Amino acid sequence: MERKGVAFPEGTRTAAPVAPEREDSGYVFATSFEGETRRLRAGEAMWDPGTLDLLRVEPGTACLEIGGGCGSVGRALADRVGADGEVVVTDLRLDRVSWLGEHGVTVLRHDVLVDPLPRERFDLVHARMVVQHLSDQEAAVRRMIGALRPGGRLLLEDTDTSSLFRHAQQEGFLDRVKDAAYVIMRQSGHRARGGLLDLDLMLRCGLEDVQAQGRAVVVQGGTVQAEWYTLWIEHLRPRMEASGLVSAEEVDQALEQLRDPAHRWLSQVMVAVSGRRPRHDGTGARGAR
């Protein structure tokens, strides 16, 4: 699909498929872990239905997806904005999103903590499960706001971990493994109250019409959604075990339970926060630097 071009500030690179080379910024899943692509796809299966309901974009609009992962949201945006709109998807690495080029999407290797964004260009900027991993969330969010046109909408989705693994029959289901996993996540900068912090941040940045809601999914063992958790634990297990917080046997048992269709549990709460850039700006937003 042909679309109008996207001009980014000098120093920012659009690219065809490339080898991963920007796995920095301390991101806990910046990894060659072979299950990471499967883990991201399982996450899409879990969260996309809710996200796609929230996107609300019109044909002809311009959208920026930060930290696009495997690209399902970027693809949905491209379908919705049509040939007269534009969609840009960024990530630290492009090998998982380069396929979007066939759908008229511009893919960009870009670190939202470091690299510039164009000013006042987009009607929607969306990021899911990205901000909660960033070391300087406020700087990143101000940069995203700077990329919005006045009146444009920022939509951030990040999880709150408190509901994870609630189980109807077993109080404390997988508690020790969950706690150990989040100790490791926290060491890499992950925030357990992610979505609620986004709300504070958007209000502090002066966005208008700020609204927030949470959603959770009931997950059954052995499903594609459950795989999001098994791959998460498998990725973190060397560090969890090395920390001494859990034993290899406990991790094996947890993985077995997550694969067992007899178990059902609650996911994290995905908190979606949306706000508009004021038409007369008081956000102190930073765009191109």
Ligand X SMILES: C[S@@+](CC[C@H](N)C(=O)[O-])C[C@H]1O[C@@H](n2cnc3c(N)ncnc32)[C@H](O)[C@@H]1O
**How many other CB atoms are there within 10 angstroms of residue 54's CB atom?**
15
For ligand X, the closer of residues 144 and 258 by Cβ is 144
Residues 104 and 226: their CA atoms lie apart, in Å, by: 32
**Stretch of 87-95, 189-197, 208-216, 224-232 contacting ligand X, by CB under 6 A:** 87-95
Residues 166-225 that bind ligand X (CB under 6 A): none
By CB under 6 A, name the one of 8, 75, 91, 287 that touches ligand X: 91
**Per CB under 6 A, does 113 bind ligand X?**
yes
Give the rounded distance of the alpha carbon of 274 from its chain centre: 15
Bridging pattern class, strands 13-14 and 208-215: unpaired
Per-residue CA distances from 265 to 111, 179, 223 (Å): 34, 16, 12
Nearer to ligand X, 144 or 180 (CB): 144
What residues contact 146, with CB distance under 8 A and at least 6 apart?
117, 119, 120, 283, 285, 286, 287, 288
Window of 66-74, 147-155, 249-257, 276-284 that interacts with ligand X by CB under 6 A: 66-74
Q: Should residue 126 be labelled a site residue for ligand X when binding is judged by CB under 6 A? A: no
State in angstroms the smallest separation of the CB of 69 from ligand X.
3
Count other Cβ atoms within 10 Å, centred on residue 46: 21
Judged by CB under 6 A, which of 6, 42, 43, 77 binds ligand X? 43
Query: Token pair of 221, please?
Result: 């063992």
Which two three-digit tokens encode residue 216? 């959770």
Is 76 a binding residue for ligand X by CB under 6 A? The answer is no
**With contact defined as beta carbons under 8 Å apart, do 30 and 92 qualify?**
yes
Binding of ligand X by 92 (CB under 6 A): yes
Locus of tokens 């109250």: 193
Q: Which of 75, 80, 121, 128 is the binder for ligand X (CB under 6 A)?
A: 128
Query: Can you tell me which of 42, 44, 146, 207 binds ligand X, judged by CB under 6 A?
Result: 44
From 3-11, 104-112, 148-156, 223-231, give the range in contact with ligand X by CB under 6 A: 104-112
Does residue 237 belong to the site contacting ligand X (CB under 6 A)? no
Question: CA-to-CA distance for 209 and 222, rounded, in angstroms?
Answer: 40
- Applying CB under 6 A, the residues found at the interface with ligand X are 25, 27, 40, 43-44, 66-69, 90-93, 110-113, 128-130, 133-134
